[in-house]
Structure 1
Amino acid sequence: MKKKFEVWLPLLLSIVMILGMFVGYRFAVQQPNKKIFKKDAANALQEVFDIIRTRYVDSVNIDTLRENAINLMMDELDPHSIYLPPVELKEANEDLSGNFEGIGIEFNQIRDTVNVTYVFKGGPSDKAGILIGDQIIKVDDKSLTGKNIDIFKIRTAIRGPKGSKVKLDLLRNGKPLTATVTRDNIATPSVTAYYMLDNKTGFIKLSKFTNSSYREFMEALQDLKNQGMTQLIFDLRGNSGGYMDQAIEIVDEFLSGDKLIVYTQGVHSPKTEYRCKRAGIFETGKLAILVDELSASASEIVAGALQDWDRAVVVGRRTFGKGLVQEPFLLSDGSALRLTVARYYTPIGRSIQKPYTGGKKVYLDEVWERYASGQLYYADSNKITNGTPYKTHGGRTVYGGGGIMPDVFVGLDTSRYSREINKVFLNGSFNDFVFHYYLSHQELLTPYQTPQEFAQHFDPSKDMWTQFTEWVKKDTVNLSGIPEFEKKRVIDRMEAQLARFKWRDSGFYQVMNSKDSVVLKALEELGK
């Protein structure tokens, strides 16, 4: 019988498997328009397409054939070289641009209805009077109810060019209403949380490396310094990467002189070094970098450089192991290749790219194998197999060949969720309950001015747990026999989710960090 697993791990793995294929640009500004299929250059592949188009017995879609052929070629390369059709290219670029054009809401499908779960303050929907809890029934008179709702199609329908209008048919407390929203640019911050953990320790959580990450990071860093920060915990857990230049700029704020940050090299790409260019604003304070198995690419550049220079203590678990640099090549039909053109190396010469000779599936499943083999739980098994040893500038031994090994290992909690709790997370009952509890108990959060105050004084245990056990009975889940320690973990997450509704991701992390073993270990290390 397979081991029971932490409920969130498969979901996070799915995210990194998808997002990890869309990140790794060498530079945000490099968008060369290099054509692959030139109309004036005859080649065997183009000849085959022409022959099929003009002589084949049935009608065929040449565009589909061409796309399939390109994808087959990409499958013969590394896992991060991919082909993006025009629609997917637009979405991928949006993800790393730091903003998108839309109406400024977050939504989720709960049961068979689309519910508004957050409204961006000052955004188009906020101005139109839309509230958290509103149910979207129609978009421009097209129905959005039923069990087979396509979230991608909903997002496409809601988003659109800045200045354009969209009509929403809503239900609020069972009563119908209509709102017309004028779309605008919506910022998507990559710094999802920053605050003071105590009177000298700052915390910054960076979710990805977008066009605006360095600017956001600097604003957060300066604000924390103004509040008296002398040591920092920089959280890159779950950060699958993004623009390499943003990572380089951030590292430059921690290192002095003209120290080497990273260099890239490939068969067709000469060695290129990226060094510090200016005095950083946090070159001397104590620093901890948090990483895990989903920290990849640009995150590994940051962790690797600061570890090589003995500038920071790296805390957590071994990173993903993506040391490849992609460059975009635009094609004539609006699609693009993101082709791996080089490997990147840490300052002492480590390539942290893990092997990919077994194919994409084996490559992506490798993180799951770490879980199954116990590497995510026990320090002794959290090793790089046959990794090449290197010496940092301070003489410590580190390894290349499969991610960044942390200086201080903190494993996953070995007390796994029971089958019943796993079920309520996976079937959506947990999120549904917390969302509805928030809607009917918003007044409970009103007295609290900050997430930290909320975490210290709000006690959800009795009332929320009782209501939750009744809520999940409709899904034939009985929680009466749940152990006390497991009940507490669920209640802690309920509290954090409530904080998210009022204070966004910053509130969630401020509540969860007070109990997070990796954050607590980092605080301990900084105190030495």
Structure 2
Amino acid sequence: MNKKIKVWLPLLFSITMIAGMMLGYKMRDNMPGKNFFSIDKRRPIQEVMDLIETKYVDSVKVAALSDTAIAAILSKLDPHSVFIPADDLQSVNDDIAGNFFGIGIEFNLYNDTINVINVVPDGPSFKAGLKTGDKFIKVNDTLVAGKKITSDRIRKLLRGDLDTKVVITVLRDDKTIPFVITRGIIPVSSIDASYIIENGIGYIKLNKFSLSTYREFMQAMEALQKQGLKKLILDLRGNGGGILDEATSIADEFLDGDKLIVYTEGTHFEKKEYRCKRPGLFEKGELVVLADEGTASASEILIGALQDWNRATIVGRRSFGKGLVQEQFDLSDGSALRLTIARYYTPIGRSIQRPYNNGEKAYYAEITNRFHDGEVNSADSVKHDTTKMFKTPNGKIVYGGGGITPDVFIPIDTANFSMAFAKIYYTGVVADFAYHFYLQNQAQLNSYKSTRDFIKNFTFTEDKWKQFVAAAARDSIELNNVSDKEKTNLINRIQSSIARQVWRNEGLYELMNTKDSAVLKSVELLSK
């Protein structure tokens, strides 16, 4: 009997396996998504690309065509789902990471020559001996002076793998000097400025939400608390957002208990709540948050939570209105897809995403229309979506469907939008003048102990103003007939840029804020 079973057993197994395969094949035809794993059915888009590559009359770059096709597909979805080509992915990821590998300088191009504007303290270039004012002649064996080189080309030459070396030949005091610099980790700070304005009122300017933002924020807060911080102005103007987790972590520092900060939800993305997890560093002190039309995404998550819980006074203008969440997916060719996977909602359930059903062009034009329609000049012109009204726990009316509306409106300073101002910003005259002024007056500027000392004792004389007018005239910008207000604003900009040469962004904002209407209003509110 055992011998017969041994003979027939392989045959029985074979028959069973064949029957199972036939049954599975039949079942496949009746299953949803039956073609998902099919290897013999090709999509029309791939067929078209193959035909172009093999049959088209001229030679074409199929990879570039593929990128264009993907971008066209995404344009039918929403304005924030984007394709990132492989060549651009590293710089995008560096921005998210909050650092990159490089030599640690700020530079600008004057007359086709790379000028060192600033050297990052304790960075690779600082350690090697580079100074502000050095002019690049060569990077390794590549001549870069007088070659109409672009900023992007310069960055590619200077950046590289960690601990690799690059030889920079510079011109200093009419001498050619080579420097061997070892590339290091260069932080890209999320915080532009952090200081005490007066009477325990602190100020923090946050420019984005990267992987290092929460850590930087906590360090800034702890430093301010040691200086006597009692009340805070958090400036999120122009902050286009970034990583959601970093924004919720900062919100947790302002909100107590286990309050809901935000929740996300999508068709293929289950509802996920982000709540407070720990005692915050600043749960009780008075808080003002500055916002404008450039405040978007993760910034709006933070502002929305603080406004819904009546934790902060929002000062400024209506925020951008981006309530969509993206996730980045790496693709096989080194590119990536940043795809919208969910919407986010503030604690009381409002989505602040603006409509985008009229296409990407109309979507972004809405921001420009706010200037044309007078919304940035008058609170009465702000367009609320009255079909999406909500009440906060204390009964205040707030709106969804198009950004966060501030509690205190600050109109835009129209003096900064004259034709002369526009040309000055476009040509970079202010920054150029400040840089050369610094090179000519280093001893005087370095004698100031702090930005506050500079603000108190530095005078921008009429002779200095005439020098600036002459510098602007060389770029065909006429300033002899500007109004007194425009002149005052310009001088503040010039002095701020000079301060930046000495104290970097901290100096820039500390000086600019002395004339900033939103900051001054915030100080007034917190001083009452």
- Could you tell me the TM-score, scaled by structure 1's length? 0.89
| Letter matched to residue 321 of structure 1 | G
Amino acid paired to 1:406: P
1:471 aligns with 2:491: no
Partner of 2:353: 353
Counterparts of residues 123-134 of structure 1 (less than 5 Å):
123-134=123-134
| Distance in structure 2 (CA, Å) of the matches to 1:39 and 1:107 | 52
What do the CA deviations read for 1:404-452 (whole angstroms, capped 9, x no partner)? 0000000111334543443333222222111101111112212211112
Correspondence for 2:149: 149
1:423 equivalenced with 2:423 (yes/no)? yes
Q: What is the CA deviation profile of residues 216-243 of structure 1, one whole-angstrom value per residue up to 9, with x for unaligned ones?
A: 1111111211222111111101100000
For residue 302 of structure 1, what is the aligned residue in structure 2?
A: 302
Unaligned runs of 5+ in 1: 1-35
1:515 maps onto 2:510 in alignment = no
User: For residues 175-210 of structure 1, what are the alpha-carbon distances to aligned partners after superposition, in whole Å with 9 as ceiling and x for unaligned?
Assistant: 322222111111111012111111311111111000
Aligned mates of 2:371, 2:111 — CA distance in 1: 31
- The equivalences for 1:300-379 within 5 A come to 300-379=300-379
Please give the secondary structure, in 1, of the residue aligned with 2:107.
strand
User: How far apart are residue 461 of structure 1 and its match?
Assistant: 3.1
Instruction: Say whether the 8 Å CA contact 1:238–1:295 is kept in structure 2.
Output: yes
1:527 positional shift? 2.7
The CA distance in 1 between the partners of 2:137 and 2:371, in whole Å, is 41
> Larger RCO: Structure 1 or Structure 2 (Cα < 8 Å, ≥ 6 residues apart)?
1
CA distance in 2 between counterparts of 1:220 and 1:399 reads 32
Distance 1:269 1:476, change over 3 A: closer
1:225 alignment counterpart:
225
Matched residue type, 1:223:
A
Runs of 4+ in 1 over 6 A off after TM superposition: 36-41
Shift of 1:154: 1.0
Tell me which residue corresponds to 2:93.
93
Distance 1:42 1:280, change over 3 A: same
What secondary structure does 1:122 align onto? coil
User: How far, CA to CA, are the matches of 1:174 and 1:49 in structure 2?
Assistant: 56
Identity of aligned residues (%): 50
Q: Map 1:30-109 onto structure 2 (within 5 A).
A: 42-56=42-56, 58-109=58-109
Q: Which structure has the larger Rg over C-alpha atoms? A: 2
Pairs aligned (count):
493
| Map of 1:194 onto structure 2 | 194
Show the 5 A alignment for 1:190-269. Answer: 190-269=190-269
Report how far residue 110 of structure 1 moved: 2.2
Q: Distance in 2 between matches of 1:280 and 1:302?
A: 14
Q: Distance in 1 between matches of 2:476 and 2:396?
A: 54
**Is contact 1:261–1:346 with CA below 8 Å preserved after alignment?**
yes
Cα distance, 1:384 vs. partner? 2.5
- Which residues of 2 match residues 267-286 of structure 1 at below 5 A? 267-286=267-286
After superposition, give the CA deviation of every residue in 1:320-344 in whole Å (9 maximum; x if it has no partner). 0010000111111111110001110
Shift of 1:382: 2.2
Quote the Cα distance in structure 2 between the aligned partners of 1:474 and 1:48. Answer: 54
Shift in CA distance, 482/61, structure 1 to aligned 2, threshold 3 Å: closer
Give the partner amino acid of 1:207: N
Paired residue secondary structure (1:253)? helix
Q: CA deviation at 1:266?
A: 1.0
The answer on whether the counterparts of 2:385 and 2:399 sit within 8 Å (CA) in structure 1 is: no
User: Which stretch of structure 1 is more off in the superposition, 518-527 or 77-86?
Assistant: 518-527
Q: CA deviation at 1:300?
A: 0.2
Cα RMSD (Å): 2.0
Q: Distance in 2 between matches of 1:382 and 1:149?
A: 45
Q: Matches of 1:104 and 1:244 in 2, distance apart?
A: 28
Structure 1 position 482, deviation (Å): 2.4
SS for the counterpart of 1:197 is strand
Which amino acid counterpart does residue 368 of structure 1 have in structure 2? T
Name the structure 2 match of 1:184.
184
| Greater Cα shift, 250-259 or 465-474 | 465-474
> Which stretch shows the higher mean deviation, 251-260 or 105-114?
105-114
> Retained in 1: the 8 A contact 2:254–2:281?
yes
Amino acid of the structure 2 residue aligned with 1:260: L
**Offset at 1:59?**
4.1
Q: 1:375 to 1:38 in 2, by over 3 A?
A: farther
Give yes or no for contact 1:288–1:314 (8 Å, CA) kept in 2.
yes
Q: Normalising by the residue count of structure 2, what TM-score does the alignment of the two structures yield?
A: 0.89
